[in-house]
Structure formats: C-alpha cells, structure tokens
Amino acid sequence: MIEGVLGEMPVRVSAMSGGCVGEVFRADLASGGSVVVKIDRSQRPLLEREGYMLRLLAERSSLPVPRVIACDERVLVLEMIENSGGPSDTGREDLARAVAELHGVKGERYGLEQDTLIGPLEQPNTPAADWASFFAERRILHFARDAHAQGALPTPLLRRCERVAERMATLLDDCEEPTLIHGDLWSGNVLWRDGRLAGVIDPAVYYADREVELAFMDLFGSFGRRFWEAYDQLRPIREGFWDRRRHVYKLYPLLVHVRLFGRGYVNSLQAELDAVEMEEKGKGDRRDSNPRPPGPQPGALTN
C-alpha cells in the first residue's frame, strides 16, 4: 500500500507512536529523506478529513504544519518534521507568536464549511452567527449526549451539562469575532527541535472564540509561564477568562475525553461544572488572576 502511494519502495518502514485515527509509520525513501504515512484500515476511514484540516491551516495561516504530500480516505502521506527534546523559553515564545498569528485569522461565522474531527470523533461545524449557541449546541450538548449514549457520562451530569447549555448566552456574554483555531493544542501535538518550535500536528480546526483554544491549552498541556506571558503581550487575554469563562470552555475537551476514555475523566468534568455553578452564584473568586498553567495531563488527543 505504501509503495503504491509513494511511487517507490521505501528502504525502511518503522512504526511510530500516537494517533487516534489509523496506524502511523515513518518511511525512509531510497531517493532520500523520510515521510510520515498514516493508514486507516477501518470500515469508516477518516484520513481525508485530517488532510483537509492540515491543508486548510497551511492555506489560511502561517502555523507550521506538515505539508500534505498525498491524501485519500485510507492513506495520508505527510512531510516528516523531526521532533527532539522539549522547548526552551525561546521555543515557548515561538509558539506564542505562532498561536497569536493564527488567532489573527478571522472568519465570517463560527464553525466551518464542513465537519472536522477531534481525535477520531466527528466535530460538527454547521456555521452560526452566534457563538454562545454554537458552543452550547455543537460542543456541549452534542458531546454530552453522545458520551451519555455510550454509557460514559452519568445521567445527573448530562442534566447538569444541559442546564449549563441553557445558560450559555449569559455565561459567554462577551464574545470575540470568529477566529481560526487549531482546536487540539496540547503538548503532544507540538514538535520541537533544539528547543525551538518545529511544527504543530493533528488539528481539529474551526472558527471559534479563541478563548476555547486557550482553555484547552491550559487544561491539556503546560507550555510554561513564558508562553502565556508572551502570548498575552501579543494578543491580550481578556479580563474574565482565567477566573470565569475558562471553566465553561474546559467542559468541551473534558466531555470529549469522557466519551473516548471513560469515567476516569468524570471527576474532572464534575469539578469544572462545580466551578461554573459557583461562579454563577457569586461564590467564586472574581479576581482575574495571572495565568498559572498546570502540568501536562495524560490522555490528550492525537488524530
């Protein structure tokens, strides 16, 4: 299969780790260089969707994503971006600039012209002019009901998610214009070389309020204080995000993880629901604090 796509026989093929969609291989070529090959042998192959997202980011932004060499539903061939070590403070600043530039790409409506993926799950993107209703219906309700149907989300928590969705216009009453986001930015999806930013992989793109991206990064990947300071200098984080709206936005990735990985994430989801409700009742800490990113969390998604 790999030879048919590449047009030549690789001199070596080795399995790579990661990936919720298909198998991932490194193929070293006789003509020189290496490529990443993803193969999806499932009954419902999804790799064409991933190729679409990478091409979209390459066309509409300067985010350093791997070039798509070949793509269909079952096979995706990507430029190899070597990954070695972790970030330096300069690398964290590189990432801050890249994300800030991405968040400068604006759209007309929230969502996207087609549905995308988050991990292996369908991410509905039917466009909407109103962010609060988009987030309530296509993110919170869609994934809460899916997780409940799969037996991963207890009924009481489903009801709490539904009540939050009903109040979303109040909870997210200060929205920014539609902004292109990567959608799955955690530490495992950022590649480094000699401490500098080398590339970003496995997107889950759509146009959103950029704060949903920041909440995801806060929850599922510690990029360090230098990242947050540099990002805030380039594209200031609005008052109310850290103490209030962040908790609302964290519900989405946690629901995805409950759906994929089971009840191990239920307690975290419940804690964020508690924080949202506490804030509504006026019992939360309303002081907008300096960002204090947590350590990296296990289980974050890769496509």
**The predicted structure's pLDDT at residue 2:** 66
Query: Are the C-beta atoms of residues 110 and 206 closer than 8 Å to each other?
Result: yes
Which of 56, 79, 102 is a domain's end point?
79
Cβ(36)–Cβ(46) below 8 Å? no
Residues 159 and 191 in one domain: yes
Side-chain-side CA neighbours of residue 177 (13 Å)? 6
Q: Looking at residue 303, what is its pLDDT?
A: 57
CA 72 to CA 56: how far, in whole Å? 15
Which of 111-125, 252-266, 270-284 has the least mean pLDDT? 270-284
Pair 29, 152 in one domain: no
pLDDT value of position 281: 79
Q: Does 282 have pLDDT greater than 90? A: no
- In terms of average pLDDT, the best of 9-13, 107-111, 277-281 is 107-111
The rounded distance, in Å, linking the Cα atoms of 242 and 286 is 9
Confidence of residue 22 (pLDDT cuts 50, 70, 90): confident
Same domain, residue pair 27 and 144? no
Q: Which of these ranges, 9-13, 260-264, 287-291, has the smallest mean pLDDT?
A: 287-291
Average pLDDT over residues 245-265: 95
Are residues 126 and 261 both part of a single domain?
yes
Structural domains in the chain (count): 2
- pTM value? 0.91
CB-based burial label for 205 (10 Å; 0-12, 13-18, 19+) = buried
CATH at residue 262 = 3.90.1200.10
Q: Would you say residue 272 has pLDDT above 60?
A: yes
Per-residue pLDDT reduced to its tens digit, 89-146? 999 999 999 999 999 999 999 999 999 999 999 999 999 999 999 999 999 999 999 9
Which of 25, 59, 79 delimits the end of a domain? Answer: 79
Active site amino acids: 184
pLDDT given at position 286 = 47
H/E segment holding residue 3:
helix 2-6
Do 59 and 107 have their domain in common? no
pLDDT at 300 over 80: no
* 248-272 mean pLDDT: 95
Q: What is the mean pLDDT of residues 282-290?
A: 50
Is residue 1's pLDDT more than 70?
A: no
Q: Helices then strands (H, E): number in the chain?
A: 11, 11
Residue 295 is predicted with a pLDDT of 40
Convert the pLDDT of each residue in 211-239 to its tens digit.
999 999 999 766 899 999 999 999 999 99
Largest CA distance in the chain: 65
Q: How far apart are the first and last CA of the chain?
A: 20
The full 3-state SS of 31-71, as one line of letters, equals: CCCEEEEEECCCCCCCHHHHHHHHHHHHHHCCCCCCCEEEE
For residue 263, tell me if it sits in a domain. Answer: yes
Same domain for 257 and 180: yes
50 in the same domain as 97: no
Q: Residue 8's pLDDT is what?
A: 73
pLDDT of residue 288: 46
- Lowest mean pLDDT across 3-7, 59-63, 70-74, 204-208: 3-7
What are the Cα distances from residue 43, in Å, to 40, 73, 115, 122, 149?
A: 9, 11, 19, 15, 21
**Mean pLDDT score across all residues of the chain:** 90
Q: Residue 45: which region, alpha, beta or left (left: phi > 0; alpha: psi -120 to 50)?
A: beta
Q: Give the domain extent around 154.
A: 89-280
